[in-house]
C-alpha cells in the first residue's frame, strides 16, 4: 500500500520480483488513481475499512502486507485488527510530535500546490532521468534511477488526488495510533537513512509493537522501493518467513471469515 502523494505505481520497481513469490493486490488507496474517495471522513480507521472490504471481496482473511508512509500506517492497523500475517512498514506515519506534524503538513500542502501547478509538465518530465529526478528528489535518494510510472504515480497522488486535503487532515495530521501492543504478527519497521520526511517516528513504534524489528536502509529515501528494490524484496520474504514459522496467534484478533486460497497471480488497483 502506497503513501500519500503516490499511487500503486510507486511499487513498480519491486512488483515483478514480488509477483514471482506472492499473489499480489497492489491497490490505489481511496481518492487516488482508480479508487473513488470515501464519503465519510478518511481517517486511518475508515481507509483501513476500505482495504478490508477489498480483502473480503478477494476472499482473503489474512495477508502479508508491504506499506509505505500512510500505507505503512494502514498496514499496522490491519495487523492490529488481525488481518495481517506479516507486515513490512516503511516509514509509517502516526508517531510524529506536534512540531514535526506542522512541518510535515506544510511540506505536503506545498507539494500539492506545486504539483498541481506543474501538472501539465509531469508527462514530458517523466520521460527523462533528469525530469524524474527533479520531481522525485524529496522522496528518493536516487531519483534518477526511478521509472516513468513512479513519476506518474506522484502526479496521481499529489495533483490528481480527489480527497487530498481531507486525507492530509484526518489520516496524517490528526491520527494517533492506538492498540499497537495487540499486534501478534511479525513486523519489520524500515526507514531510509536519507528519509527526512518520517523524521524519527519509525523507530518510535519499536517499543509499542511486540517483537518488532527495525531495519535502516543506507542510500534510501522516504519511498525507497526504487532506491533499494532488491533489499525491499528480501525484507518482505524474510518477514513473511517469520510469519509462517510462528503459531497462528494473530488469528485470534481476526473475525471468523474463511480464507479462500489463491492459486494465480492477481494484480488489482482499486479499493
Q: Are 108 and 166 in contact (CB under 8 A)?
A: no
**CA-based torsion, 259, 73, 228, 10: positive or negative:** positive
Give the CA-trace dihedral at 17, 132, 154, 91, to 10 degrees: 60
pLDDT digits (tens, 9 = 90+) for 41-76: 999 999 999 999 999 999 999 999 999 999 999 999
Residue 132 pLDDT = 97
Residue 270 is given by DSSP the state -
Please give the full DSSP string across 136-176, using - where no structure is assigned: HTTT-SSGGG--HHHHHHHIIIIIS-TTHHHHIIIIIIS--
267 band by pLDDT with thresholds 50, 70 and 90: low
CA–CA gap between residue 199 and residue 269 (Å, rounded): 29
What sections of 205-255 are H helices per DSSP? 229-245
Residue 199 pLDDT = 80
Residue 253 pLDDT = 47
pLDDT digits (tens, 9 = 90+) for 110-139: 999 999 999 999 999 999 999 999 999 999
Residue 198 pLDDT = 87
Query: How many percent of the chain have pLDDT more than 70?
Result: 91
Domain residue spans of the chain: 8-248
Residue 270 pLDDT = 67
Question: Using CB atoms within 10 A of its CB, is residue 103 exposed (0-12), middle (13-18) or buried (19+)?
Answer: middle
Residue 252 pLDDT = 46
Strands (E), the chain: 63-68, 84-90, 187-192, 213-217
Residue 246 pLDDT = 75
pTM across the whole model: 0.92
CA–CA gap between residue 268 and residue 58 (Å, rounded): 10
Among 83, 84, 22, 64, smallest CA distance to 264 is for: 22
Query: How many percent of the chain have pLDDT more than 90?
Result: 87
Residue 179 pLDDT = 98
Q: What CATH number is given for 8-248 in this structure?
A: 3.40.50.1820
pLDDT digits (tens, 9 = 90+) for 190-240: 999 999 898 889 999 999 999 999 999 999 999 999 999 999 999 999 999
Radius of gyration of the chain (CA): 17
pLDDT digits (tens, 9 = 90+) for 145-198: 999 999 999 999 999 999 999 999 999 999 999 999 999 999 999 999 999 898
Q: Are 161 and 111 in contact (CB under 8 A)?
A: no
250 band by pLDDT with thresholds 50, 70 and 90: very low
Residue 268 pLDDT = 63
Return mean pLDDT, the chain.
Answer: 92
Amino acid at each position: 500500500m502506497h503513501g500519500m502523494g503516490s499511487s500503486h505505481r510507486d511499487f513498480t520497481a519491486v512488483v515483478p520480483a514480488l509477483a514471482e513469490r506472492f499473489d499480489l493486490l497492489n491497490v490505489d488507496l481511496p481518492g487516488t488513481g482508480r479508487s473513488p474517495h470515501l464519503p465519510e471522513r478518511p481517517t486511518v480507521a475508515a481507509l483501513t475499512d476500505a482495504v478490508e472490504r477489498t480483502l473480503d471481496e478477494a476472499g482473503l482473511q489474512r495477508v502479508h502486507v508491504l506499506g509505505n508512509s500512510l500505507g505503512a500506517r494502514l498496514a499496522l492497523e490491519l495487523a492490529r485488527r488481525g488481518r495481517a500475517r506479516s507486515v513490512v512498514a516503511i516509514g509509517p506515519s502516526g508517531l510524529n510530535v506536534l512540531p514535526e506534524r506542522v512541518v510535515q503538513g506544510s511540506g505536503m500542502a506545498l507539494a500539492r500546490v506545486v504539483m498541481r501547478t506543474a501538472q501539465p509538465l509531469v508527462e514530458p518530465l517523466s520521460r527523462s532521468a533528469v525530469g524524474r529526478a527533479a520531481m522525485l528528489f524529496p522522496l528518493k535518494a536516487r531519483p534518477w534511477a526511478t521509472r516513468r510510472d513512479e513519476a506518474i504515480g506522484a502526479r496521481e497522488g499529489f495533483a490528481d488526488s480527489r480527497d487530498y486535503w481531507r486525507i492530509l487532515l484526518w489520516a496524517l495530521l490528526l491520527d494517533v495510533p492506538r492498540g499497537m501492543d495487540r499486534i501478534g504478527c511479525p513486523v519489520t519497521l524500515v526507514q531510509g537513512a536519507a528519509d527526512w520526511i518520517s523524521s524519527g517516528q519509525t523507530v518510535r513504534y519499536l517499543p509499542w509493537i511486540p517483537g518488532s524489528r527495525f531495519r535502516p536502509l543506507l542510500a534510501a529515501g522516504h519511498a525507497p522501493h526504487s532506491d533499494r528494490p532488491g533489499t525491499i524484496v528480501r525484507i518482505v520474504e524474510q518477514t513473511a518467513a517469520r510469519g509462517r514459522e510462528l503459531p497462528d496467534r494473530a488469528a485470534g484478533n481476526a473475525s471468523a471469515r474463511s480464507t479462500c486460497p489463491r492459486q494465480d497471480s492477481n494484480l488489482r488497483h482499486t479499493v
